[in-house]
Chain A
């Protein structure tokens, strides 16, 4: 079996989380630059705050690296035997988890610019809270956190993104060998830093956008392939259960697959055994045996995605989804979902609050000098 040294899904997850962290840090730095970076302002305070941002970032990164290392180490130290026994079953389940994770985070990659604004709002919100606190009675801790807000924000941000990355990478790649980790993680970090830097510098926006679109497309190709593979693995598991241990010995030939479920089978190009085809397997979900289940799953996934994205586009263009209110009011009558529907409705009207926050921030003089 070809040694799996580059898990594409890991690359993209690390890339995305890294990008997000870089954007937050860059937003913070530009805040500082805007508010304190001017020549006539206090350079000492400015440099101290900038240093705080970097310190916070690196502290967060180091801690999340420790957590991540422990997490993955524990996982490989303790857990590996459990799933090696019924490998296909676990592979099916892990692929399913990975598909869900990637599906949710993928589109956000295309709205990375939106993400930047989102973080502006969030950071402003955080600052507004701090300034609101400052008027109250201060505790020692509250005082410390107020003075070190520029340390705490990036610290928490990088820590959060880092742990998120670790959990996602773990979830997506539970079934991968340890050799598949280092390279995509390093590449993901480099790519994330590079793109983040471009965004910060305000370079050619169009080329970044195209890069993001391309990588999101690849991400969804992977996700569709994984969903298909998930169904395939679960089917294969039930087949292998019936056949017994013999099935793995069969290689490519007859008996290595369930012919009555098969849409196509070619006696070659087995991603498990033939070099090169494992790349197609990783990116496009290629199997030399396609079952009805895996083909249908692949197409259903894309259909679902196309529908979701179309709705998103429609919502962005018009500001609302057709039947959204009707749907929500219907949902609010369902006992278990009442809270969820109410929350959704509240969110629809929440923009005003963000504006309010900005006003407060501005009033507190944190965005301006």
Chain B
């Protein structure tokens, strides 16, 4: 039935008919055992007992209905549809704690939304750093009006990812612990291509293939190149671009790139497709880690699959130079500028957290969207969403500029839910903050590249602009899943009063809240009476004091006092005269010998008495030597 409707929809699309269809999926989220890198079999999260999970496909204009039933038994879940704007259906976006409650084991949840945008997307769990366990797959929206449609003979979808042998619920407590004060992210065990290795892609000669490449990994960016072939980039993150030739592309976690590749005339040889994990992200590079994954364009399945050649340098295409196909011009100067400094630091519990401006994201008691829905007119007040969701309320229709200054020495792919932004500036590495660069409006490209996930370079900055034309509650976050876990998120509450008019929260969404014990009304502290009273909201641990605390002062003073007391006692001991310096009789024997030498025997008694008294007075034995 599902496949029928989907086939019908695709058929309709292929005829160029503008009829919208409904694409239905029933997703049972289940544990599956898999061994994608041939090194270690482990439990992975699959759908309908299958892994890799199915590709969602639809046409522009279609309505997608997904019935999710969580059959994991031991973990809650959710699904987020990465890159979809969810216009009018922000409650279908998927992040737990933002637009919904977690779906506890045994419960169901319906995602129901209409897609108005073409391109390459993906879907994944947006709960508790769960998707690297396998719950991640492509989501492709076909477009009858795709500008390069006539050139394309075939389409191929390639996912790139990194792979861990341990489950995230094992790795997270290790990563987020005081035993990891530098916040070193666990290094993947392998790289995967289409969730496997040594992939072969049979191709025909003299054809043009459209590759839709998605990095569905948790952490590593990927350098991708295909030996002997040039790529013509035509789409990034669902935005069509003017065709741009590239020999190598860099695709960060969550980014997508589509390119056209025309096959050779000659079918005698096969060509390696190499994807290489960005090892600059890794704190350590284990000796046994193969950070490359190789597949092959196979013209001839009987010919050998050659080993990939070594490359001298990784010199990927700069996505900032792309030009959107629709030539959308630079948005006017911003009405609101949101400036976010990226910092990694430790809090009082010794763990390493990630911060935007000294705030590390902490999930509110009530999902932020539900706060917006229940706060009435106060929804416009950022305070109701709680300090630790780092909320920014955007007015309807205003131009918003996000400036991110990376004060960290790592690369971060920043992703905005609900929008594709104009990437109007990206500094070089080590360029410092945006203020340092002193840029003006004329320095920005007139037709900036747009996408929904943009990489910032170490100690550099990026500037993004978008129009707040999509009411909803949207996260802005680093798409390295470890940094999501350590709090590198901010919340944009866009036109909250408009959201309230758009929809009411479906009953099945509220039902999972009840099942999970999550309140679905109230401010971030679940206060439904006084929305400005945030007593009891979830908070990040306290910051580490830079100097002495009262506890420290007490300890230091007490230590000083005991030290002084000890010294006093030692001095007392030193000054006190022991009862017997030396047995008195011994002294007398010695004295006698002296006395007899030096003085007359007659005076013996007297001098003996004098000696004993001086002996009693203080350390007499010494003074006599």
Q: Which A positions have Cβ atoms within 8 angstroms of B?
A: 26-27, 30, 34, 38, 107, 110-111, 113-114, 116-118, 120-121, 199-200, 202, 205, 209, 212-213, 216-217, 220-221, 224, 242-243, 246-247, 249-250, 253-256, 258-260, 263-267, 284, 290, 295, 298-299, 302-303, 305-306, 309-310, 312-313, 316-319, 351, 354-355, 358-359, 362, 367-368
A302 near B555: Cβ-Cβ < 8 Å: no
Distance (Å) between the CB of A88 and the closest chain B CB? 16
B574 near A212: Cβ-Cβ < 8 Å: yes
Q: Which of B346, B552, B563 is in CB contact (< 8 Å) with A264?
A: B552
* Nearest 7 CB-CB pairings of A with B: A264-B552, A255-B181, A254-B346, A117-B582, A213-B574, A302-B562, A242-B179
Q: Which of B562, B572, B575, B585 is in CB contact (< 8 Å) with A303?
A: B562
Contacts of A258 in B (CB 8 A): 178, 350
User: What CA separation (Å) do A360 and B556 show in the bound complex?
Assistant: 57
B544 near A243: Cβ-Cβ < 8 Å: no
A202 near B563: Cβ-Cβ < 8 Å: no
Known pairs A265-B545, A266-B546; A351 contacts B593 (CB<8 A) = no
B515 CB–A CB distance under 8 Å: no
A110 near B574: Cβ-Cβ < 8 Å: yes
A255 near B563: Cβ-Cβ < 8 Å: no
Contacts of B576 in A (CB 8 A): 313, 316-317
A259 near B566: Cβ-Cβ < 8 Å: no
Q: Which of B184, B544, B580 is in CB contact (< 8 Å) with A254?
A: B544
Known pairs A258-B350, A264-B555, A313-B576; A217 contacts B571 (CB<8 A) = yes
A205 near B181: Cβ-Cβ < 8 Å: no
User: What CA separation (Å) do A264 and B574 show in the bound complex?
Assistant: 34
Q: Which of A259, A264, A358 is in CB contact (< 8 Å) with B350?
A: A259
Write the chain B residue with the least CB distance to A124. B586
User: What CA separation (Å) do A208 and B348 show in the bound complex?
Assistant: 51
Distance (Å) between the CB of B583 and the closest chain A CB? 5
Known pairs A199-B622, A260-B349; A316 contacts B552 (CB<8 A) = no
What secondary structure prevails in chain A residues at the interface with B? helix
User: What CA separation (Å) do A330 and B180 show in the bound complex?
Assistant: 51
Distance (Å) between the CB of A104 and the closest chain B CB? 14
B548 near A220: Cβ-Cβ < 8 Å: no
Known pairs A298-B562, A355-B586, A359-B589; A113 contacts B555 (CB<8 A) = no
Q: Which of B546, B578, B581 is in CB contact (< 8 Å) with A267?
A: B546
Contact with A along B157-198 (1 / 0, CB 8 A): 000000000000000000000111110100000000000000
User: What CA separation (Å) do A212 and B573 show in the bound complex?
Assistant: 11
Contacts of B283 in A (CB 8 A): 246
A217 near B182: Cβ-Cβ < 8 Å: no
B547 CB–A CB distance under 8 Å: yes
B181 near A117: Cβ-Cβ < 8 Å: no
Distance (Å) between the CB of B540 and the closest chain A CB? 14
Write the chain A residue with the least CB distance to B582. A117
User: What CA separation (Å) do A236 and B574 show in the bound complex?
Assistant: 36
Contacts of A355 in B (CB 8 A): 583, 585-586
A362 near B350: Cβ-Cβ < 8 Å: no
Contacts of B585 in A (CB 8 A): 355, 358
B156 CB–A CB distance under 8 Å: no
A254 near B345: Cβ-Cβ < 8 Å: yes
Distance (Å) between the CB of A318 and the closest chain B CB? 8
B570 near A220: Cβ-Cβ < 8 Å: yes
Known pairs A212-B574, A258-B350, A368-B593; A120 contacts B181 (CB<8 A) = no
B563 near A221: Cβ-Cβ < 8 Å: yes
Q: Which of B180, B548, B549 is in CB contact (< 8 Å) with A243?
A: B180
A34 near B552: Cβ-Cβ < 8 Å: no
A213 near B555: Cβ-Cβ < 8 Å: no
B558 near A299: Cβ-Cβ < 8 Å: yes
Distance (Å) between the CB of A288 and the closest chain B CB? 10
By CB atoms of chain B within 10 A, which of A254, A266, A298, A303 has the most? A254
A317 near B579: Cβ-Cβ < 8 Å: yes
Distance (Å) between the CB of A61 and the closest chain B CB? 23
B508 CB–A CB distance under 8 Å: no
User: What CA separation (Å) do A145 and B551 show in the bound complex?
Assistant: 65
User: What CA separation (Å) do A263 and B552 show in the bound complex?
Assistant: 5
B54 CB–A CB distance under 8 Å: no
Contacts of A313 in B (CB 8 A): 572-573, 576
B544 near A266: Cβ-Cβ < 8 Å: no
User: What CA separation (Å) do A267 and B549 show in the bound complex?
Assistant: 13
A263 near B555: Cβ-Cβ < 8 Å: yes
Contact with A along B581-625 (1 / 0, CB 8 A): 111011001100110110000000000000000000011011111
Write the chain A residue with the least CB distance to B541. A259
B565 CB–A CB distance under 8 Å: yes
User: What CA separation (Å) do A263 and B554 show in the bound complex?
Assistant: 9
Contacts of B619 in A (CB 8 A): 113, 205, 209
10 interchain pairs, CB-CB under 8 A: A110-B574, A113-B581, A114-B578, A118-B582, A217-B567, A264-B547, A264-B552, A316-B580, A317-B576, A319-B580
User: What CA separation (Å) do A200 and B622 show in the bound complex?
Assistant: 8
Distance (Å) between the CB of A260 and the closest chain B CB? 5
B569 CB–A CB distance under 8 Å: yes
By CB atoms of chain A within 10 A, which of B178, B570, B593, B621 has the most? B570
B99 CB–A CB distance under 8 Å: no
Known pairs A202-B623, A250-B182, A299-B562; A309 contacts B569 (CB<8 A) = yes
- 6 new A-B pairs (CB below 8 Å) besides A221-B567, A243-B180, A355-B586? A220-B570, A250-B181, A259-B348, A290-B552, A309-B572, A319-B580
User: What CA separation (Å) do A341 and B553 show in the bound complex?
Assistant: 45
B559 CB–A CB distance under 8 Å: yes
B583 near A351: Cβ-Cβ < 8 Å: yes
A302 near B574: Cβ-Cβ < 8 Å: no
B130 CB–A CB distance under 8 Å: no
Q: Which of A34, A111, A199, A253 is in CB contact (< 8 Å) with B593?
A: A34
User: What CA separation (Å) do A266 and B625 show in the bound complex?
Assistant: 54
B352 CB–A CB distance under 8 Å: yes
Write the chain A residue with the least CB distance to B180. A243
Write the chain B residue with the least CB distance to A295. B555
B563 near A302: Cβ-Cβ < 8 Å: yes
Q: Which of B562, B579, B622 is in CB contact (< 8 Å) with A316?
A: B579
Distance (Å) between the CB of A195 and the closest chain B CB? 12
Known pairs A113-B581, A250-B181, A358-B589; A38 contacts B597 (CB<8 A) = yes
User: What CA separation (Å) do A116 and B578 show in the bound complex?
Assistant: 14
Contacts of B597 in A (CB 8 A): 34, 38, 368
A319 near B556: Cβ-Cβ < 8 Å: no
Distance (Å) between the CB of B249 and the closest chain A CB? 32
Distance (Å) between the CB of A5 and the closest chain B CB? 25
Q: Which of A117, A256, A298 is in CB contact (< 8 Å) with B559?
A: A298
A114 near B582: Cβ-Cβ < 8 Å: yes
A309 near B573: Cβ-Cβ < 8 Å: yes
Contacts of A367 in B (CB 8 A): 589-590, 593
Contacts of B570 in A (CB 8 A): 107, 110, 213, 216-217, 220, 305, 309
Known pairs A260-B349, A264-B549; A220 contacts B586 (CB<8 A) = no
A246 near B590: Cβ-Cβ < 8 Å: no
User: What CA separation (Å) do A30 and B594 show in the bound complex?
Assistant: 12
Distance (Å) between the CB of B565 and the closest chain A CB? 6
Known pairs A217-B571, A354-B586, A368-B593; A259 contacts B346 (CB<8 A) = yes
Known pairs A243-B179, A254-B346; A120 contacts B566 (CB<8 A) = no
Contacts of B545 in A (CB 8 A): 265
Distance (Å) between the CB of A253 and the closest chain B CB? 8
Contacts of B593 in A (CB 8 A): 34, 362, 367-368
Write the chain B residue with the least CB distance to A118. B582
Q: Which of B350, B556, B566 is in CB contact (< 8 Å) with A302?
A: B566
A114 near B569: Cβ-Cβ < 8 Å: no
User: What CA separation (Å) do A83 and B471 show in the bound complex?
Assistant: 63
Known pairs A202-B623, A313-B573, A355-B586; A255 contacts B182 (CB<8 A) = yes
